Amino acid sequence: MISERQEKLLNFLIKEYIETAEPVSSLELKKITDIDVCGATIRNDLQELTKQGFITQPHISAGRIPTRKAYKYIADKLEEDFIVRQINEARREMRNQMQMMQEIMQTLEQDNIFKILNILDKWHKKI
C-alpha cells in the first residue's frame, strides 16, 4: 500500500517519464510537483516505491523509471475513478428524474387531473 503523497509522486513520475523517455530524478519531481516537501522526503518516498516494485533505478546515479506494476496501478486507479464518476453521474441523474416526477405528481394532484384519470380508468373498465 502506498501513501497519497507517494501515489501523487508516482503519477508525476509516470507522466514525466512518458513525456521525456528519461529517468526522472527527485530534483525534477520537486520542480514539477505541487507537493510541499523537501527533496529528502521525495527521495525517501522514491525508495519506498522502489522497494514495493513500482519504480526502478537503471543505475545508482540515474533517476527512476516506472515499472509495469506502476503502470497497472495507475491504470487501475484511473478505471476506479472513472467508475466512481459514472456512478455519481447516474445518482445525480436519478435524483433529477425523481425530483421531476415529484413535481409532475404535485402538479397533477393540484389540478385534480389524477382524480379525473382514476374516474376515466374506472369508466373505461366498465365498458
∠105-106-109 over CA atoms, to 5°?
85
Q: Which residue has the cell 527533496?
A: 39
- Domain residue extents for the chain: 4-66, 80-126
CATH topology of domain 4-66: Arc Repressor Mutant, subunit A (1.10.10)
DSSP 24: B
What is the distance, to the nearest Å, from the Cα of residue 43 to the centroid of all Cα atoms in its chain? 26
- Residue 65 parent element (H or E): strand 65-66
Q: What pLDDT shows up at residue 116?
A: 72
Cα distance between residue 105 and residue 100, in whole Å = 9
Q: What pLDDT shows up at residue 111?
A: 65
Each residue's pLDDT tens digit, 67-122: 999 999 999 999 988 898 899 999 999 998 888 888 877 776 666 776 777 777 77
Q: Which residue has the cell 503523497?
A: 5
Q: What is the pTM of this model?
A: 0.65
- Contacts of residue 69, defined as CB under 8 A and 6 or more positions apart, other chains included, come to 52, 53, 54
Q: What pLDDT shows up at residue 19?
A: 94
With bands split at pLDDT 50, 70 and 90, how would you rate the model's confidence at 127?
Answer: low
Alpha helix locations (H) across 52-126?
68-110, 113-126
Average pLDDT over residues 29-35: 88
**Dihedral of alpha carbons 94, 99, 101, 102, sign:** positive
Integer angstrom CA distances of residue 100 from 103, 107, 110, 116: 5, 11, 15, 21
Q: What pLDDT shows up at residue 6?
A: 94
> Please, what is the average pLDDT of the chain?
88
